[in-house]
Amino acid sequence: MSSLTGRHILLGITGGIAAYKSAYLCRRLKDKGADVWVSMTKNATHFITPLTMETLSEREVLLEMFPATRYVGTRHIDISDWTELSIVAPATANFIGRYANGLADDMLTTLLISVTSPVMLAPAMNTDMYNHPAVQENLQRLRARGVHMVDPTSGLLACHTVGVGRMAEPETIVAAAELLLEQSGRHDLTGKTILVTAGPTQEAIDPVRVITNRSSGKMGYAIATAAQQRGAHVILISGPTMLPAPAGIELVNVTSAQEMFNAAMARFDTCSAAIGVAAVSDWRVAKPGLHKLAKADGPPELHLEPTPDILAGMGARKRPGQIIIGFALETDPARLDSVTKLRAKNLDLLVANNPTAPGSEFGSDHNDALLIDREGHVDRPGLLTKQDLAHRILDRLASFTNGSK
């Protein structure tokens, strides 16, 4: 039986050419036994008729907040309470902008600002529109709020160009919805406090210059958000990133490895688990300049010293029952001796990834990683979104804490 059977789905359709695929998407959701309300924006009705969606969903289509004939004041609340999952497909640049900014100026955005259940978007638009910084920023803000994305694919677009922006196929969206309903039904981390480190650190050379790295923080933030959705109290200790603060999470902002170490050590004892995702600088300048080093004095000779190892510090203090998961980032696979590293830091699981592998680059929304446990068993889930990989890692964490290690 599908996890969609008997579930209440709100299907939002916005005004893009991919709206023609939404009819089939609705059909597939119904085939799987879901109960579907459709809400269309005014622009969506230029691409596909409400009659088509009404026939497929077997319900009246939600179009306007204030229909001339049948105004019901709190209808958006009744339907948002009913909704167990909202899927907006296609999600246009305009809709994404309105939703990211919390606007509620039509029926669909009003419904979405009222729902408390998961929301999934399938963006679709021209490649240049998709890559526009405003659209990317809005998508990032929505991800940080826990909105799930079914990313567009590359291919021939309606504007006769080839590039990223094609809406994911209805079958892919249905599969993502099934997975999400399985995951969001789980509150297997309720009662746990999970510490997550994320992002890069910055080590001062002088008051102006720093040593840092290319970590975006996306993986750590995805894990923090997924753990919070699964019921955990999450403490996210983050180095400097461009990411917005995730909702419902205790965020501790730090800059240097030493600050991250201090923040982690002050909290670890009360945590059920710690996940070290941060790309902590391995070295810092032993004596940073008190003033900006003058260019005229020539290139400085920097004497570096190691930073404290945060995971190893927690590993040394680990009580029975506490779980620690680390990440290992190696651009040369031959150099990655994961099991040795896992044992040296007293970890339960090591997630090994390579930012030079195709699809797993720094800043990417995907990751192709290996999950290696203390027995040396290797799980290779393949290229996943960071959200999906976050859930895979948390599945392992949940199995450890439930004693089925």
**Contacts to ligand C5P by CB under 6 A:** 197, 257, 276, 278, 280, 282, 307, 309-311, 326-328, 341
User: What is the nearest approach in angstroms of ligand C5P to the Cβ of residue 309?
Assistant: 4
User: What is the nearest approach in angstroms of ligand C5P to the Cβ of residue 304?
Assistant: 13
CB nearer to ligand C5P: pick between 127 and 213: 213
Among residues 121, 129, 132, 140, the alpha carbon closest in space to that of 165 is found at: 129
Burial class (CB in 10 A: 0-12, 13-18, 19+), 161: exposed
How many Å separate Cα 300 from the centre of its chain?
40
Q: Is the peptide bond before 118 cis (omega within 30 degrees of 0)?
A: no
Exactly one of 104, 158, 159, 339 is catalytic; which is it? 159
CB nearer to ligand C5P: pick between 19 and 224: 224
Residue 375 tokens, joined: 């027995």
Residue 392 tokens, joined: 């895979």
Distance CA 194, CA 172 (A): 31
User: What is the nearest approach in angstroms of ligand C5P to the Cβ of residue 282?
Assistant: 6
Residue 77 tokens, joined: 């609340």
Contacts of 331 (CB under 8 A, 6+ apart): 354, 355, 356
Say whether 26 is catalytic: no
CB nearer to ligand C5P: pick between 56 and 263: 263
User: What is the nearest approach in angstroms of ligand C5P to the Cβ of residue 337?
Assistant: 10
CB nearer to ligand C5P: pick between 61 and 249: 249
Among residues 124, 310, 97, 138, the alpha carbon closest in space to that of 220 is found at: 310
Say which amino acid occupies 66. F
CB nearer to ligand C5P: pick between 12 and 326: 326
C-alpha distance from residue 269 to each of 44, 237, 371 (Å): 53, 15, 25
Distance CA 67, CA 182 (A): 36
User: What is the nearest approach in angstroms of ligand C5P to the Cβ of residue 321?
Assistant: 20
114, 76 Cβ separation under 8 angstroms:
yes
Q: Which residues are tagged catalytic?
A: 159
